[in-house]
Structure 1
Amino acid sequence: MATSTVGGRLAKLAGFAAAAMMLAVLGGISFTGRWPTDATLEHLTGDGIIALPAEQVAHVDIVASGKTVRLDHTGGGWAIGGAMLDPGIAKHIDTAIRFLNVSSPRRSLQPGEYDAAKIAEFRLDPPKLLVSLVARDGKTSSIAFGEPTPAENSQFVHLLGQPTIALLSRYVGVEWQMALDLAERVPAAAVNGKERPKLLFLPMSFATIWAVEIVQNGALTRFERDPAGDWFHHLPGHVHTPGGFVHKADPSVAPLLAAEFTALERASVEAVVAKHPDEATLAADGLEHPSAIMMMYARDSLGAVARVEFGNPTPDGFGRYARVRETDNLVSVPRYVAAHLDRLLEIAGVRS
């Protein structure tokens, strides 16, 4: 009984500490308009499964669902179809390559530990995702990404030409999926020069996003996916412990949240007001201290992979000024885009 009481007190203290920390963070956001960065995964060191560094890669081919995307490495960064990618987007490609350089397999399966049936079960032939790094000397290193392990902390991968199957930390494959998602959302005209460009508001879809935070009126509301991938409102005031409570989305609410996120990822930009706006321009359009901020997190990311800010209404009243930090463009979007955030908060019951 005493142990249980002490454990409960410790959990409450941890909860109070976490709440105090979040209040401090919110205070910082309100004052500076900026969200703190996290570099936990920026200092990984180790022996990865591919030694080729990003600066020696000429281009990358990513194959998934029968489609191939080619990313060319130029002196100024990364490009697709001749169109340069924004630095905030291109960094995901560099990060994905670096993860291959420094992430050691958790375990390797030797040929006697698997057979053809297991290869199919691991979804390595054909793979869910095939990444090929082509070096400047023409040599190619290809890695197939398959299913996650039952514990969902690793993923089955196969370096083509090697006899072993490796269990690699899941965040490596997630980063490559994100790189593919970002590349596929580049305007079509930039890729083939024929179709009318449609500039999507968000640089990525919600396919690889596992948590979303909305900051509005000094309050933070967090949405997450449960183990099945369904969305739910993550209520504050409790502490997660190993072997503890696992969230399960409400089946009547999850589709409503998913619909709003889907609408957001399909939203397009009406106009690019300024590329790399200065502080005076941001202040004039209400983005020095944004009225609403949305942060998007990948499943294994502690830091936000995208930060979206909303400012003042446009003069005609039909739009809203906004900024996505990863592209660093000041844009105008239809008014209903910001309304999706309001709707998410209404569904969560934190706004009437």
Structure 2
Amino acid sequence: MAAPTLRRLAWMGAAAVAAAAVFTLALHGSRPESGLARFEAAGVMVHIKPERVREVEVAAGDRRWRFARAATGGWTAIGSPLPSQDWASLIDTGLHFLSVSSPQRVMTREEVAGASPSEFGLAPPRYAVWVRASDAQLFVVEFGSSNAQGIGQYARVAGRPELFLLPRFVGEQWEKATGLQ
């Protein structure tokens, strides 16, 4: 008779300890951060906000396209033929991607020391984009060839020693806006 009573008391004690633990956690515990990481822009042009850009120039060989932001916030083509109907939205998207899309890979100068820039399609580059903003220095990015899988594109940023493998969709915006694609 004593054994079942002891067993019953042990279960009641365990239940009380569990309830106290749950109560303590409810009062003092906090929810852990969700499994998703908070988004942070990590593009090669993260220091320039796209809405502050005043002028963009795209060059491929001896072909050039110049675009200036109008007072209304839209874009104006300056002496350039417009191959794409939606070129203005493509420029906005291209600037956004340069700012927020992190490189798939960043190769240091030492990693590419023995390789020729032509191996990455950067001697000469396929095309270059110049970005002028109201509150930043001139930003220049040169786009080279796609990687073997076709999902990345080699790029070089003026003034930086690294070579970047950017997601292919970053460069595609400039190609579509100018008809290079």
TM-score, normalised by the number of residues in structure 1: 0.37
The change in CA–CA distance for 1:62 and 1:89 in structure 2 (over 3 A counts) is closer
**TM superposition shift of 1:91:** 1.0
4+ residue runs over 6 A deviation? none
CA distance in 2, matches of 1:100, 1:122: 19
Count residues with an aligned counterpart: 139
Give the conservation status (yes or no) of the 8 Å contact 1:154–1:168.
yes
Asked whether 1:54 is paired with 2:50, we answer yes
Greater radius of gyration (CA): 2
- What is the CA–CA distance in structure 2 between the aligned matches of 1:46 and 1:57, rounded to whole Å? 17
Matched, 1:108 2:109: no
Q: Which has the higher contact order (CA 8 A, sep 6+)?
A: 2
- Rounded to whole Å, the distance in 2 between the matches of 1:122 and 1:142 is 17
Matches within 5 A, 1:172-321: 172-181=170-179, 208=181
- Specify whether residues 138 and 46 from structure 1 end up closer, same or farther in structure 2 by C-alpha distance, changes over 3 A only: closer
Deviations 1:249-296 (Å, cap 9, x if unpaired)? xxxxxxxxxxxxxxxxxxxxxxxxxxxxxxxxxxxxxxxxxxxxxxxx
Identity of aligned residues (%): 31
- In 1, distance between residues paired with 2:43 and 2:135? 21
Deviation readout 1:210-260 (Å, 9 max, x if unpaired): xxxxxxxxxxxxxxxxxxxxxxxxxxxxxxxxxxxxxxxxxxxxxxxxxxx
**Residue number in structure 1 paired with 2:78:** 81
- The alignment's TM-score, normalised by the length of structure 2, stands at 0.69
Q: Aligned-pair distance for 1:87? A: 8.9
TM-superposed CA distance for 1:138, in Å, is: 6.2
Q: Report if aligned partners of 1:45, 1:103 keep a CA contact under 8 Å in 2.
A: no
Match of residue 67 from structure 1: 63
Change (3 A) 1:137 1:53: closer
Match in the other structure for 1:149:
147
Q: Within 1, Cα distance between the matches of 2:128 and 2:145?
A: 12
RMSD: 2.4
CA distance in 2 between partners of 1:153 and 1:138 (Å): 30
Do the aligned partners of residues 58 and 87 (structure 1) sit closer, same or farther apart at CA in structure 2, a change above 3 Å counting? Answer: farther
Q: 132, 150, 164: which is aligned to 1:134?
A: 132
User: Do the aligned partners of 2:132 and 2:138 also contact (CA within 8 Å) in 1?
Assistant: yes
CA distance in structure 1 between the aligned counterparts of 2:113 and 2:49, rounded to whole angstroms: 32
Contact kept? 2:54, 2:69, Cα under 8 Å: yes
CA distance in 1, matches of 2:135, 2:97: 22
Q: Which runs of 5+ in 1 are unaligned?
A: 1-43, 182-206, 209-352
C-alpha displacement of 1:54? 2.2
**Contact kept? 2:91, 2:177, Cα under 8 Å:** yes
Displacement of 1:118: 2.7
